[in-house]
Every structure is written in C-alpha cells, then in structure tokens.
Amino acid sequence: MTRDKEIVLSVRNLTKAYSAAGEKVSVLRGVNLIVAAGERVALTGESGSGKSTLLHLIAGLDRADGGDIDFAGTPMAGLNEAGLAALRRDRLGLVFQQFSLIPSLNVGDNLAFQSRIAGRNDVAWQTELAQRLGLAGLLDRYPEQLSGGQQQRVAIGRALAVKPLLLLADEPTGNLDETTADNVLALTRDLVARTGCSLLMVTHSNRLAATLDRHVNLSAGLIA
Amino acid sequence: MTRTLWVLAVLLSHWRRHPMQFATLVIGLVSAIALWSGVQALNQQARASYDRAAAAFGGTRTATLVSRSGGTFPQQLFVDLRRAGWPVSPVLEGRIQIDGRSFRLLGIEPVTLPAEVGDTPAIGGDLQSFVMSPGETRVAPETLTELGASEGGSLQASNDMTLPPLRLAARLTPGVLVVDIGIAQQLLKMPGQVSRLLIGKSKGPRASLESVAGDRLRLIKPDAETDLERLTDSFHLNLTAFGLLSFFVGLFIVNSAIGLAFEQRLPMLRTLRACGVSSRQLNAVLLLELVFFALVAGLAGMVVGYLIAAALLPDVAASLRGLYGAQIPGQLSLRPQWWLAGLVISVLGALLAAAASLLKAGRLSVLAAAQPQAWHQAQRRWVMLQGMAALAVFTAALGLLWFGDSLLAGFALLAAILLGAALALPLLLELVLAGGERQARGALAAWFWADSRQQLSGLSLALMALLLALSVNVGVGTMVESFRQTFVSWLDGRLAADVYINAADDAQAKAITAWLRERRDVIAILPGGRAETQFAGAPLEIFGLPDRATYRDRWPLLRSAENSWARLRQGDAAFASEQLARRSKLSIGGAIEVPTPNGDWKIRIVGIYADYGNPNAQIAVNFDALTNHFPTIPRTRIGLRANQAAVPKLMSDLREKFGLDEHSLIDQATLKAESKRIFKRTFSVTAALNAFTLAVAGIALLTSLLTLGNSRLPQLAPLWAIGITRRQLAVIELLKTMSVALVTALLALPLGLLVAWCLIAIVNVKAFGWRLPFHVFPLQLAELLAVAMAASLVAAAIPVLKLARLQPAELIKVFADER
C-alpha cells in the first residue's frame, strides 16, 4: 500500500513505559507504523492501550524510551525541544478531543493562529477553510460562544490552516454526538484530501475508523 | 520577531477577556510602587535639604577650626593663620530675634571663602553689593515668606538694629540670614569675634596650627554624613519601612493576580506549546509581557507616588522641623534618578511577584493534566514549608533580640517578627479551619469548613497582607497613643510656670523682673537660661533650673540620686536628659566634663529626666551655677507662677507695659496646646501611611476575592444543583470570608502589641534615646478590629453580590460538556 508513495511517517520498535504507584507500566512495547503521503489512517484500541501516548510521541510532545520515529525523513530523536516545536509549528497539525482553543481569541484569530506563528499566513486559504467548515459567520465569536461541534471545526481549521504534512487527531469526535461527529469527520476527510496531507486519527469508533483508508489496532502495546 | 509578537498578542488577549484580573494586576503594581516611590521622593527631598544645609558656609562637609572652649574667639587668630599660609575664612554665627522669632544669623567673609564653599549657589549674585555698605541680607524664599517681607526691604532686629536690605538666594537653607561678617559682628554685638574658621582645600606650605594658635583652636575634620542626616536616619528609616510594607503588600496583589492568570492561562500555554511555540520563546514572551506591564504600571505608580509625596510633604516638613529642627522646603523637586529607580524597582518587584509563576511556566509540561488532589497535597506541603520557614525567621528574631544592639537590628527584628507571622498565618488558619471541620455537625457545615480550607491557598496572600497592615496599625497606633499619653503628662510636669516671657534683651528682662516683683498676683519669678557647649564631640545644651519649689515638686525625673535637688544647688551636679544618658551610657553617680569660658566644668549626674522631642543632648544644672560658668549667656527667659485667675490680666499688662507680642509672651495653656498640635502633626504622616497601608491591604483582599470568585463556580454549582439558593450560597461565601478575616484580625492584635513593644522598647530607644511606658488601649484595638472587619466586608461584598445575582445559565455551564 505504501510502497509507491512517499513515506511521511515511519515508526519503528517504539517503546514507552510509565511509573504508576511505584510500578513500571509498559504502554508501548515495540510499535511499528508507516503512514504514506496523503494516506488516512485510523488508530483504534481499548482504553489504556496507548493510542494517545503513541500520538503524543509522534507529535513530539513526549519522548520515547526506545525505537525510532522518522517524520518526512527527519529522525525525531535527533531534534531538541526547539526543533520539535518547529516541527509541530511548521509541518504538523494537532486536533485534540478537548478542542484546545485559545479562549481569549475569537474564531478568526484561532483559525489563523498557527499559520501566523509559522510565518505562513495564507488569508485566502483561511477564508476557504472558514467557508468549508461553516465558520464564516462565526469569525468574531469566542470559543465559549460556540457549540462543541463548532469548536472542533475551529480546531481542525487551525490545524489545517498551516497546510501540514500530517494531521494528528486524538479522538476529535469523542465529545460530539453521532451526527455532529459524522459531519466533522466528513469535513476533515474532504479538507485532508484538498490539502493532500496525511491523517492519523485516534478513535474508539470502528464505524468512523471504517471511513478512512486504513485501520490499525493497538492492543497490549503492539499494533496487530 | 513576528512570531514573538503573535505569541505576545495571544498572551495579551487573555487580559482583554479578563479586564478585572488585569485591573487587579495594575492596581497591585501601582499600589506597590506608589507609596514606595512617594516615600523615596520625600526622603530624597529631605536629604537634598540636609546637603544644602551642610554645604552652606561650613557645615559638616567642610573642615573647620573652632575654639576649644566651645565659644567664639578673636578675629586676630584668623589674620595670623592666613599669614601663616592657612586657607581659612571666618564665620560668625548667632541667633537674632525679629518680630519675636528667632533666626540663625551667619556672618561670612566672601573674599576668603574657600572655593568649594563659595561655589555653593547661596552666595551667588553681586559680591560687591554684598560687602559694600549697606550690604545685603541673603535669605531663602521660604524665609522671606516667613518674615512677611519682600526683596529689597529692611528688617529691624529686636535689639533695635537694622539689617541690610533683603536679597533672595534661592538655594539657601530656610531659616538662615546671611550677611557680611562685619555686619554680623555689629548685629550680634560681638565685635572682632569669630565662631569658626572654614578651611579651604588648597594645598601649600603652612605653619603648624599650634605654632600659630597655641591650644586655643581645635580642628574638626569634614564628615561624610551630616549631623542632620544622622539624627533623621531613624525618621527616614521609619518612612522607608512603611514604603516597603506597602510595596510588599502591593506585590502580594500582583502575585495573586499573576498566579491566578497563570492557572487560567495554563490550557492556553499548553496549546501554544502544542502549536509549536518553543518553551524558551514562550517564557521569553511571558517575561516581556511582565516587564512591559511593570514599566507602564510603574510609571503610573510613580505619578501617584509623586502626588502622595506632595500631599505628605507639609506634614513631613513639620515633623522634621518639630523633631529635629530640620528645614525642608515645601516644594517637591525630583531627580531623574528617582524616576529610574522607581522603574527598576517596579520591574524587580513584578519579577519577584511573578517568580513562582514564571518558574512553573519554565517547567511546564505540554501533556500535564490537571491533578487537583496532587495540587492539594502540594499546597499542604507548601503550608508546612511556610510554617517551618516561619519558625526559622522567629528563631532569627530571637537572635536579633538577644544580640542586636543597633537601630538597624531593631528594624530587622520588627521585619523578622512581621515576616515570621505572615509565613505562619496559613498554617495557623489551616489549624483553626481543620479544628472547625472536625467539630462540624451536618453536611453543609462540614462543607463550609472543608471548602474554606481549600479556598485558603488562594486567599492566604491577601490575608497575610491584612495581617501585616493591621498589626502595623495596631503597633504604631499603640506606640503613638502611649507616646501621646506620656507626652501630655510629661508636659504637665515640664511646663511648670503659668506664663513664659522671652525678653528682647537682658535690660528688658531686668526691667520686667523688677516690675513683676511689685505685683501681688505673681507667686514666683523663675529665671531661665541656656548655654551651648560640647560633650564627647557633639553639641550639648545646658539648661538652667532655678532652685525653686515649683521645679523641685514638678520637674519630671525618671531616676534620681538621694537629695538630688540639694546636690544640684551646690553647683557641681546635673540632671541628664534620657537621650544623653543612653547615648553616652551615663548613669546616676557618673560624671561628665564640659568646656566653659571659665575652663572645664566637672559635673556629677544626680538625676535623669525625660526630654521628649529634643534631638540634642541636654543637661539641667542649677541656674546660678550656669550663669557662673557661662557669664555671657542671655538672661532673657523668665517663667512666672501666678494665680490662675490673674493670668489674663497679668499678660495684658505685660503686653501693654513692655510691648511684648505673642512670640515673646505666652501662657501655659497656649504653649501646651501648641505642643500638642505639633505632636499631632508630627504623627499625622504616620497616621496617613497607616491608612494607606490598610487601604492597600483592603484592595489586596478585594482583588483576591474577585479573582477567586471566577474560579469558584465548579465548587458552588453542585450545591446550587442540590437545592441551595444563590442567595444562600452568597451568604455562605460571605461568612467564609468574614470568618477567615476575623481569625486573621484577631491574630493581628497580639502581633500588633508585640510590634508596639518593639517600637517602644527597642526602635524608639535606639532612634530617639527615650523609652516610653507601654500601655494597651482596648478601645483602640476594638476600633481597629472593627475597621478591619468593615474593610473585609466591603472587599467580600462585591464578589458575593455578583454571586447572588449570577444567572443560572452560568452555573449550568459547569455541568455542560463544553466546559
């Protein structure tokens, strides 16, 4: 499947353990994963299986105990804190279950925020995003004045405004009802296709996972 | 750069959405800087005045030659020294009465005046018109106003001599009249006499001092610190202490505002990091934001500080005049250093207040999740740590109490007690609230105490501010009231005569005395006089007490030897003022030796008396002994004992017969009232600073409650959901605030009394040389407690009203998924 396409993400033998109540708990025990350019991958697994941990490691929010992550040919282990920040800023888009919008900025500013700090503020693209996400009439509102679905659409817009190579989404529909979740995911798929970026989405829902190109399951710290 | 600005814009957007929090931050910074910079402006103004006084014609900044006997010496010595190569210039100094008021008259010789002294702007103007007949009398603008005269006008001294026309010298010390030395010799009736010789810095061959003047003259080296600076150090230290207290209370507000903003901005900071803002950049921008606020608010604080200083200056000037005789001009002039120092202190203060938040931001993990229980445990650890720090500070305070023997150690002890108490407060409150929780019956009561404990960490800084402000108020209030009570009873004893006369000269005094002897309504005529001499290198005033029952019965002695009055009569004994006794470690039975025109005078100390308000060392001797040793002192002061009913008539007759005005004739009641008025004014600055500090503490409590109020909804919403009305919730919140404020205020009372004891038993003794009796004033304590509770009620009322009027929708949001 990925043989003919350029590889955006390569994860090899990734391990990660945490200490809990004095005991070492291995969350990831040697995960291998490859995501090709433009590919949309769903990552499923039971609660506590390590899905979010894997996503955080890929996003450079945390460090692995062992193994390698190459992002667009760059080994992430060799990047320092500033390098990881630059990678997130310029080449990654992150969407969280809790939306993580900036409450003191209005929708317009939240949408433009990451692209501004990345120095790639494309107003035309933001306008298109706002329209496609149904946010054009809400640009002056603040996050607290939006519904959950609207807030998540702003979060997706912010992540895509920078035209990332890879969009990492951690349970983006976990806080939404079924209809809204379907709408949000459909929009995400369209926009990912429009930008040509890859998508790695953590979800509990096999139904939603089935709508993406590939479905991988994380179980007992390993991808089956 | 653009990235930095974007991040800054995002951080600033938080304040735009939380204007109350922003106002809190600004109010905190402005409060911290305002009183601090105001006090610094006052100190700077006063010190500049001391410098002016010191630089003017041979103050302590210039090396001088003075007579060994402490009196004047012949001008011929000046001529001999000049001829021997000494770059000396003569000065004659004395006091002159004009319209019943006493002024310092300085006679100078401008041609030989050393360049470094002559360079003072005081001399300025046309030298020729100063030395040529009729000459000039140089005065400061303040003196001109005091004299009620205008430039060019001439004044008549009480000895009927006319002074040269007045000429303004803008930077001259107020209260000083400067004339040519020849004119001064005539006015003071001291022909050919000189008080001291100023020594210029020019080098050259010169004969030894002894070969020219023998042992008649003594060299006094220039001093880096002026007498006034030394004397007033404690006053300025007191002002600085208040400024510092307000500064720290203000910083508590800043700390509270920044701490809360940090907690509220945590998700934003994490999002910024997740979006690719590096930790270093985020911290740099947080720092930039803080420095920017500190500069802007600091500037505003300094403007407020300037206004405070301008408002307080008249009272500070009156205090310094009343306590130390220092003359401070009534107009504030500020140097660029003041502005710069204010901005620097504002930035440093803001950094100090925000240090904990900045450190947390520096260590912020992008993935850290909220851990309320862990946070609670951390808070408990922090309270324990504070308790241990309090113990360490109290131990240091004990060390200072045991080993400290200076004014600075006294202030350090005060600071340690206050700091220790502030650090111990959260632990004490925690213990009280935990006790309440254990005793609570019913779910709501249990929640009341448990929630109060949880709220404590957010309120503890504001409560510390309240504790400090209130205890300082109690301490200073008790000290001032103790002083007032002591001062009033001391005045009753000290002002033994019913009428006081200050005759124009000895001849008039003799005429008045002769006239009074004929009056039946006069019970006793009490002659008085004072002489100036030196003891242990410092000025000493010798006060003459006539051997009369009036004094023997009423003069307030703190300690005395047996038959002290009888021994005083013999002429070789004295009572020493308390400040002299403490400073020179003199005790009953000790002896001192002072120079007099008739040679050295050995005097044994047979008593020690209180001499409140006098900065100079003083001894009281028998009046006849004084006039024997100082035959030339003016004998113009007369006290009268008279029948009370006859006093008004006696005074009007004296006025009519001898042309005495209100400056040279005063009755005991008026003098007492005037003394009390000066006393009140002296402490009005303290009262104002007290009020400012308490107000700032009130603001700290208000801002803490307002900012806390916003984060209280998740705690209150469940109670509302289970059936407690918003009004009930508001009442509970009010009760909680008032209960912790009450416990704090009750703790502040004994702490304040401890502060008062330190002020009375340590700081006052070191600063002024007198020890006051310690009194407790329960009514005053009750009043302060009521004021503190009223301030707490006002502070708590706004957030509580806000809560009572809260829309249900706001409470529902707590349970909504979106939150």
B370 touches chain A (CB under 8 A): no
Higher pLDDT, B12 or B704: B12
The answer to whether residue B787 scores a pLDDT higher than 50 is yes
Contact A105 B10 (CB under 8 A): yes
- Residue A61 inside a domain? The answer is yes
- Residue A1 inside a domain? The answer is no
* B10 chain-A contacts, CB cut-off 8 A: 102, 104-105, 109, 113
Comparing CB atoms, the residue among A92, A109, A175 nearest residue B817 is A175
pLDDT of residue B147: 81
Question: A207: distance to nearest CA of chain B, Å?
Answer: 23
Reported as half-sphere exposure (CB side, CA atoms, 13 A), residue B516 has a value of 27
pLDDT band at B456 (very low <50, low <70, confident <90, very high): confident
Q: What are B604's two structure tokens?
A: 């044994």
* B271 chain-A contacts, CB cut-off 8 A: 100-102
* A119 chain-B contacts, CB cut-off 8 A: 2-3
Asked whether B165 and B177 are in contact (CB, 8 A), the reply is no
Percent of chain A with pLDDT over 70: 97
The answer to whether residue B732 scores a pLDDT higher than 60 is yes
B267 touches chain A (CB under 8 A): yes
Bridge partners of A95, per DSSP, are A169
pLDDT band at B231 (very low <50, low <70, confident <90, very high): low
Residue B12: closest CA among chain A residues belongs to which residue? A104
d(CA B183, CA B739): 73
pLDDT of residue B424: 93
d(CA B227, CA B252): 38
Q: What are B527's two structure tokens?
A: 């002659």
B809 touches chain A (CB under 8 A): no
- Residue A97 inside a domain? The answer is yes
* B276 chain-A contacts, CB cut-off 8 A: 85-90, 92, 114, 117-118
pLDDT of residue B120: 44
Comparing CB atoms, the residue among A82, A96, A117 nearest residue B3 is A117
Average pLDDT over residues A130-147: 88
d(CA B487, CA B155): 37
pLDDT of residue B322: 63
B5 touches chain A (CB under 8 A): no
pLDDT of residue B358: 83
* B274 chain-A contacts, CB cut-off 8 A: 59, 61, 88, 94, 96, 100
Contact B16 A147 (CB under 8 A): no
The answer to whether residue A45 scores a pLDDT higher than 80 is yes
* A104 chain-B contacts, CB cut-off 8 A: 10, 13-14, 16-18, 268
d(CA A129, CA A112): 10
Asked whether B61 and B187 are in contact (CB, 8 A), the reply is no
pLDDT band at B818 (very low <50, low <70, confident <90, very high): very low
- Cβ neighbour number for residue A210 with a 10 Å cutoff: 9
In a mutagenesis test of the B interface, which of A99, A104, A171 is the best target, namely the one with the most B β-carbons within 10 Å?
A104
pLDDT of residue B327: 64
pLDDT of residue B370: 43
In a mutagenesis test of the A interface, which of B270, B271, B279 is the best target, namely the one with the most A β-carbons within 10 Å?
B271
* A97 chain-B contacts, CB cut-off 8 A: none
pLDDT of residue B373: 44
pLDDT of residue B222: 65
Q: What is the CATH number of the domain that holds A129?
A: 3.40.50.300
Higher pLDDT, B46 or B568: B568
Residue B17: closest CA among chain A residues belongs to which residue? A104
A vs B, Cβ pairs < 8 A, gives 82
Rounded (10°) CA dihedral B676, B679, B680, B681: 120
pTM: 0.66
Contact B274 A144 (CB under 8 A): no
Average pLDDT over residues B625-653: 86
* A151 chain-B contacts, CB cut-off 8 A: 818
pLDDT single digits (tens) B591-607:
888 888 777 889 999 99
pLDDT of residue B331: 67
Q: What is the amino acid identity at position B479?
A: M
Question: β-strands B522-535, A198-202: how paired?
Answer: unpaired
pLDDT of residue B372: 42
B775 touches chain A (CB under 8 A): no
In a mutagenesis test of the B interface, which of A53, A96, A109, A117 is the best target, namely the one with the most B β-carbons within 10 Å?
A117
The answer to whether residue A165 scores a pLDDT higher than 90 is yes
Residue B364: closest CA among chain A residues belongs to which residue? A61
The answer to whether residue B643 scores a pLDDT higher than 60 is yes
Residue A105: closest CA among chain B residues belongs to which residue? B13
Which segments of B247-343 are extended strands (E)? none
pLDDT single digits (tens) B88-102:
889 888 777 777 677
Average pLDDT over residues B608-621: 84
In a mutagenesis test of the B interface, which of A102, A109, A150, A175 is the best target, namely the one with the most B β-carbons within 10 Å?
A102
Average pLDDT score over chain A:
87
pLDDT single digits (tens) B542-559:
989 888 887 888 787 889
pLDDT of residue B815: 57
Biggest CA pair distance of chain A = 53
Residue B5: closest CA among chain A residues belongs to which residue? A117
Please list the alpha-helical segments (H only) found in B188-278: 209-213, 227-274
* B13 chain-A contacts, CB cut-off 8 A: 102, 104-105, 109
Average pLDDT score over chain B:
81
Question: B254: distance to nearest CA of chain A, Å?
Answer: 21
Contact B275 A101 (CB under 8 A): no
Nearest partner of B124 among B60, B58, B168, judged by Cα: B168
B818 touches chain A (CB under 8 A): yes
Contact B278 A86 (CB under 8 A): yes
d(CA B752, CA B467): 9
Nearest partner of B536 among B604, B583, B588, B602, judged by Cα: B583
pLDDT single digits (tens) B296-339:
999 999 999 888 888 888 877 777 766 666 666 666 777 788 88
B776 touches chain A (CB under 8 A): no
Q: Is the peptide bond before B134 cis (omega within 30 degrees of 0)?
A: yes
Q: What are B150's two structure tokens?
A: 């205008």
pLDDT band at B708 (very low <50, low <70, confident <90, very high): low
- Residue A189 inside a domain? The answer is yes
Asked whether A13 and A32 are in contact (CB, 8 A), the reply is yes
pLDDT of residue B514: 92
Rounded to whole angstroms, what are the CA distances from B734 to B304, B455, B790?
Answer: 32, 13, 12
Average pLDDT over residues B51-63: 61
Percent of chain B with pLDDT over 70: 87
Rounded to whole angstroms, what are the CA distances from B192 to A3, A131, B111, B236, B686?
Answer: 117, 103, 17, 41, 48
Average pLDDT over residues B456-471: 82
Q: Which residue has the tokens 């300037």?
A: B306
Contact A85 B3 (CB under 8 A): no
Average pLDDT over residues A57-61: 87
d(CA B281, CA B271): 14
Comparing CB atoms, the residue among A88, A116, A147 nearest residue B6 is A116
SS3 B777: coil
pLDDT band at A37 (very low <50, low <70, confident <90, very high): very high
Higher pLDDT, B704 or A120: A120
The answer to whether residue B181 scores a pLDDT higher than 80 is yes
Range of the domain at A168: 7-223
Q: Which residue has the tokens 């008649």?
A: B216
Q: What are A111's two structure tokens?
A: 């949408």
Asked whether B77 and B213 are in contact (CB, 8 A), the reply is yes
pLDDT of residue A216: 93
Contact A87 B276 (CB under 8 A): yes
**Dihedral class, residue B673 (left if φ above 0, else alpha if ψ from -120 to 50, else beta):** alpha
d(CA A36, CA B646): 116
Average pLDDT over residues B701-729: 72
The structural domain count of chain A equals 1
pLDDT band at B809 (very low <50, low <70, confident <90, very high): low
pLDDT single digits (tens) B256-293:
777 777 777 888 888 888 888 888 888 899 999 999 99
